[in-house]
Every structure is written in structure tokens, then in C-alpha cells.
């Protein structure tokens, strides 16, 4: 599928994976709408072709408004990349007692239900566009994590949410096939995002040393490169792709 002269939505688009993906899509000629929380938008980079919209993926009203804005851009809405997510850590039985049930619910709400909300509302508008070659109308790329498969101690909420995204991939692709919409998921390993900017170089080096090859952290632009490859490769559908340098996470 061609990206030029189409519209795209990227959630979590103010930083990290989302910002890199929004910039890559814009560089390919897409009109990009990067969604994020209002406070995050204050630090978002200025990128030609990228318009920032305040939206909370847990709020169907703000998501719906953002989707309508993208769908009314004057070019067909073809691409959605879901990058928004949170990753707090807590054990089921920790020093302060049982895992906070509200925290567990919040992680599921943001990471899993938020992803589905954007997927469903965007798919509705993509399905209304004129089809291209082979009846294709668009593609949705979701973000899981290697934690969906190799969840570590303290990642029970995060792994649950990302495992749900993995499980969503094939049935979503099958559901939306009749509308000419493909669905794939990327499961990144350890990516050098702003989340890791606060940790020491020694800790970062330790993380990188656990990756078989290349023995380094992944870069956000590599995630964006893979997302673009999925968008442009018409026969990729219903697939979960690990981007992790052959990493398999240890228990801790």
C-alpha cells in the first residue's frame, strides 16, 4: 500500500516509538495525525506533515473526534499505528501487600482496551474509503511487547495487556478482511525510548548485554522502519513480528 497522499493516525505520537513512526510516515508523504495526552504534546517535536491532536485512548469521545479529523483531511485515511501505552511494575504479592487492583485495571484499560478503541473507531472510517489495489483500504499496526511472551517478575499487568494485543491480532485481521483492512502487531524488545533516559549508563549497558545480536538497545527509528514495511507490504496480515535481536527475557 502506498503511503503518499494518504492520512495516518499514530497514537502515543509525541515521543518515543510514536514520534519516530509519525515522522517516518510524514517523510513518506502521509498527512499524519499524532495523538497523545495534552501534557505530552507540550514537548512534542515539530515535524513537517505531522499535526498533533490531544486524545486519551481510554476516552472513546476524544478518540472518535481525532479519527474524524484525520478522516476529513482531504486524503483517504489508510494507516493507523497504535503506540500509546504504559508500563508500571508491581508484583502480585509485594512488600506493600497484594497488587493494586486499580493499577492492574488501568494498565489493561490503556494498553489493551485503548488499542482496541482506536482500532475499532478508525477501522469504521477506513472501511468507508474507496478501495485500492486488490480491494485494500488500509492497515492497522498495533504494538505489543516481548513481555507478551517472556513476561518478567513484576510485569503481570503489562504482560497481560500486551498478550491481549497479540491475541487480538489474528481475529481482528479476519474480522476486517472483508473491508480490505490488514492488521499486524509489532512486539519490540528493549527500545531506547525516553523511558530509559532516566536510568544509568551502567544499567543500560546491562540491558544491551542481554541481547544476542546486535548487542545494543533497539532504536525508535527501527520500530518506525518496521511499521512502514508492514504498511507497504500488502501480503503481511494477521501476523505478530518480534523486533528484539533474538532476545528472550529472563525471569528478572
pLDDT tens digits for range 187-243: 999 999 876 766 678 777 888 899 999 999 999 999 999 999 999 999 999 999 999
Q: Which domains does the chain have, with CATH numbers?
A: 7-190+219-243 (3.40.50.720)
As a three-state string, the secondary structure of the chain is CCCCCCEEEEECCCCHHHHHHHHHHHHCCCEEEEEECHHHHCCCCCCCCEEEEECCCCCHHHHHHHHHHHHCCCCCEEEEEECCCCCCCECCEECCEECCHHHHHHHHHHHHHHHHHHHHHHHHHHCCCCCCHHHCCEEEEEECCCHHHHCCCCEHHHHHHHHHHHHHHHHHHHHHHHHCEEEEEEEECCECCHHHCCCCHHHHHHHHHCCCCCCCCECHHHHHHHHHHHHHCCCCCCCEEEECCCCCCCCC
25-56 per-position pLDDT tens digit:
999 999 999 999 999 999 999 999 999 999 99
Q: Is the pLDDT of residue 57 over 80?
A: yes
Q: Stretch 90-97: mean pLDDT, rounded?
A: 95
pLDDT band at 245, cuts 50/70/90? very high
Average pLDDT, the chain: 95
> Which pLDDT score, from 0 to 100, does residue 140 have?
99
The answer on pLDDT for 135 being more than 90 is yes
Q: What percent of the chain has pLDDT over 90?
A: 91
What's the pLDDT score for residue 71?
Answer: 98
Q: Tell me: pLDDT of 123 over 70.
A: yes
Q: Residue 10: pLDDT band by 50, 70, 90 thresholds?
A: very high
Q: Which amino acids are annotated catalytic?
A: 158
pLDDT at 163 over 90: yes
Amino acid at each position: 500500500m502506498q503511503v503518499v497522499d494518504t492520512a495516518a493516525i499514530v497514537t502515543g505520537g509525541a515521543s518515543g516509538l510514536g514520534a519516530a513512526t509519525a515522522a517516518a510516515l510524514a517523510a513518506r508523504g502521509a498527512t499524519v495525525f499524532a495523538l497523545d495526552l495534552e501534557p505530552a504534546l507540550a514537548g512534542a517535536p515539530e515535524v513537517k506533515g505531522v499535526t498533533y491532536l490531544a486524545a486519551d485512548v481510554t476516552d472513546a469521545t476524544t478518540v472518535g473526534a481525532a479519527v474524524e479529523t484525520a478522516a476529513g483531511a482531504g486524503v483517504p485515511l489508510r494507516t493507523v499505528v497504535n503506540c500509546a501505552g504504559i508500563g508500571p511494575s508491581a508484583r502480585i504479592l509485594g512488600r506493600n501487600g497484594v497488587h493494586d487492583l486499580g493499577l492492574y485495571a488501568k494498565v489493561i484499560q490503556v494498553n489493551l482496551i485503548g488499542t482496541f478503541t482506536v482500532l475499532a473507531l478508525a477501522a469504521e472510517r477506513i472501511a468507508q474509503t474507496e478501495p485500492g489495489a486488490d480491494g485494500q483500504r488500509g492497515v492497522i499496526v498495533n504494538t505489543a511487547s516481548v513481555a507478551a511472551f517472556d513476561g518478567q517478575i513484576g510485569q503481570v499487568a503489562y504482560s497481560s495487556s500486551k498478550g491481549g494485543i497479540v491475541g487480538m491480532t489474528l481475529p481482528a485481521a479476519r474480522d476486517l478482511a472483508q473491508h480490505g483492512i490488514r492488521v499486524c502487531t509489532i512486539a519490540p524488545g528493549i527500545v531506547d525510548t525516553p523511558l530509559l533516559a532516566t536510568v544509568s549508563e551502567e544499567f543500560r549497558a546491562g540491558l544491551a548485554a542481554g541481547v544476542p545480536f546486535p548487542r545494543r538497545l533497539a532504536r525508535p527509528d527501527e520500530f518506525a522502519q518496521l511499521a512502514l514495511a508492514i504498511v507497504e507490504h500488502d501480503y503481511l496480515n494477521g501476523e505478530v513480528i518480534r523486533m528484539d535481536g533474538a532476545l528472550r527475557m529472563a525471569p528478572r
